[in-house]
Structure 1
């Protein structure tokens, strides 16, 4: 089956009744975890972006605590998983400021992580790529936010 274009889907949704739209949304939520997470964000958390970021940070803290530090292999695998989660959560929010804030927090946690990630080339490269990505994303923000996030980034790079 070939998926329809988004514009065609939008036109078709406009012809649906309220009850039919509700049933479609519920059915979408049943099929994939990401669909359910996006619906949860849109319905319960989109109005409070700061609360959303705080809940993600709490989740990230738990994920960092759960990392198996027995080998750099396990550390790399876990850190990449956390980074994938950040990208997914950022996609739900669709806010560049949220994405920058989460990436900055990720880099802070990564820098303070024990054992030191800079002893492993792959992890230090991952950290460096995230710093470059943060710099790039900061330029797309409003001037006031740029200034605030650049200060946080400089503090991260200095320490």
Structure 2
């Protein structure tokens, strides 16, 4: 019984790293789909919220299944997991942006404000008509404090 308890604890300790790395590797990709989110994000054990109303590829738009869609966005990719792992999550998010070559800063829209647990809040230009907002931090979750990481793609800016 003790061996089983130790194995469960080790798996729980690895979850933040797995979830943060999966977020970094997949959430910034324009080819991410709801099916892929289930496969690569939810399989880490993290809580996942994903929708893409205007896919880049020929994939079908995915429904909004978690929280309601954020006004003015057409895509969200979010993972959340128990505990305060904001520093790990912020580092992973920055690495994910760098891996995708998303480095042009953009002004953060007024509707995004830092919260008490914010570790990272920033906006990046995806192309001349689109920006994405990344927010990482901690908040109350279903089991106490949880770490969250999300990126939301805003609707295109009119030319």
TM-score > 0.5 by shorter chain: no
Structure with a larger share of its residues in strand: 2
Structure with a larger share of its residues in helix: 1
**Greater RCO, CA 8 A, separation 6+:** 2
Normalising by structure 1, report the TM-score: 0.31
* Higher Cα Rg, which structure: 1
